[in-house]
Structure 1
Amino acid sequence: MSSALILFAHGARDPEWAAPLRRVQAAVRDRAAGLPVEIAFLEFMSPTLADCAAGLVAGGANKILVLPMFIARGGHLKRELPEMLAALRAAYPDVEFALGDAIGEHEAVVRAMAGAALDALGA
């Protein structure tokens, strides 16, 4: 089975907004050589989730984890993203699409943000 990872982010009008996500993408690629890792955006930026998934499927991926790069599960992740995944599953019935938890809900990320906050304070 050929796996791939999509880092799914909100998007913004300012293209510089995506720079930290590209750093995450590069770090994942460094740690998992050969794993296709792409970034998809909900709005304002491209590629969309559908376009990103199409490219990965065309490249041979048949198991794709969509990892929301959001602090928490809000409306986009509770309503819109499940609808998008349902459409992808219908379009690619032979591909397994899995949905990860919002990145900000992972304990390691919570601890890293707390540490960064204390570092900013100088504590």
Structure 2
Amino acid sequence: MTAPLVPVAHGSRDPRSAATVRGLVERVRVQAPGIEVYESFLDLSEPRVTDVLRRLYAQGHRAAVVVPLLLGSAFHARVDLPALVTEVKAECPGFDVRVSEVLGVDPVLERVALARLSGAGLGPGDGVVVSAVGSSNAGANSAVADLAVRWEGELGLPVTEAFASAAQPDVPAAVARLRARGVRRIVVASWFLAPGLLPDRIAVHAREADRAVFVAEPLGTDPRVAAAVLHRYADVVTRIPL
């Protein structure tokens, strides 16, 4: 029996977020019809990952692969999720639950995020803000800063990072950085998986700084994101004993 795939997202009070995650998981199912796939969430949305795993165990599954739908490796990936998996395994003897790497700063996802800028008509005088959630984990923030450096080289335009919470620069500070470099129009790229409260906060602050700002959509349900989820699953499932 092939181990089920359990993508797990953070969860949000904004229903658009959970709807996007469910749409992405449906894309995964279409791309991998031979695998059982069950969406789940860490918090704020249903079903919770612990409930999904317990249900799979009760149905007779003895292994599962959890793929974190997270774009950074910070507290949720390093502490929250491992603790929840440990809790389930303590209750379910013999249940082999493996957790893959987060989606993270994957080149495929970078291409999706850059494609979201296609409607901006980038040109001379423009500058790009790569917007992300922000974290108390310096490494997660540095990964976004590195992303901005790569994009600046690729686009040939000024690029800087901005965070919605927990880290600096925020959007006003990022816009000030770009203005100091001669940028006339602000374009905001989205390093978010789904719409929600934090991407909305980014958009509000960006429009306060520049009424003509272009704000890109999150990565969403793009088939390339679904393929990245399946790649994370494939990296793990082959290590589970039959």
TM-score by length of 1: 0.86
* Residue matched to 2:59: 59
**Structure ranking higher on relative contact order (CA contacts 8 Å, 6+ apart):** 1
2:118 corresponds in structure 1 to 119
Relative to structure 1, is the Cα distance of residues 96 and 120 closer, same or farther in structure 2, using a 3 angstrom cutoff?
farther
Which residue of structure 2 aligns with residue 103 of structure 1?
103
Within the alignment, does 1:72 sit opposite 2:72 as a pair? yes
Using the TM superposition, give the Cα deviation of residue 11 of structure 1 relative to its aligned residue in structure 2, in angstroms. Answer: 0.8
Change (3 A) 1:121 1:7: same
Q: One-letter code of the match for 1:14?
A: D
Distance 2:108 2:59 in 1: 32
Q: Quick one: which amino acid aligns to residue 64 of structure 1?
A: A
1:62 Cα deviation (Å)?
A: 2.0
Distance in 1, matches of 2:118 and 2:23, equals 20
Contact 1:104 1:110 (C-alpha < 8 Å) held by counterparts: no
Is 1:46 aligned to residue 46 of structure 2?
yes
Distance verdict in 2 for CA 1:29–1:66, change over 3 Å: same
Residues paired across the two proteins, number: 122
Residue identity matched to 1:110? E
1:43 offset after TM fit, Å?
A: 1.2
SS of residue paired to 1:104: coil
CA distance in 2, matches of 1:39, 1:51: 11
| SS of structure 2 residue aligned to 1:64 | strand
Q: Which has the higher helix share?
A: 1
Structure 2 CA distance for aligned equivalents of residues 92 and 107 of structure 1:
37
Q: Which has the larger radius of gyration?
A: 2
Runs of 4+ in 1 over 6 A off after TM superposition: none
Alignment identity in percent?
28
Structure 1 residue 38: deviation in Å? Answer: 1.1
TM-score where L is the length of structure 2? 0.47
Paired residue for 2:85?
Answer: 85
**How many angstroms apart in 1 are the aligned matches of 2:110 and 2:12?**
23
Over residues 56-79 of structure 1, what are the superposed CA-to-partner deviations in whole Å (9 max), with x where a residue is unaligned? 222332221111111111111111
Unaligned runs of 5+ in 1: none
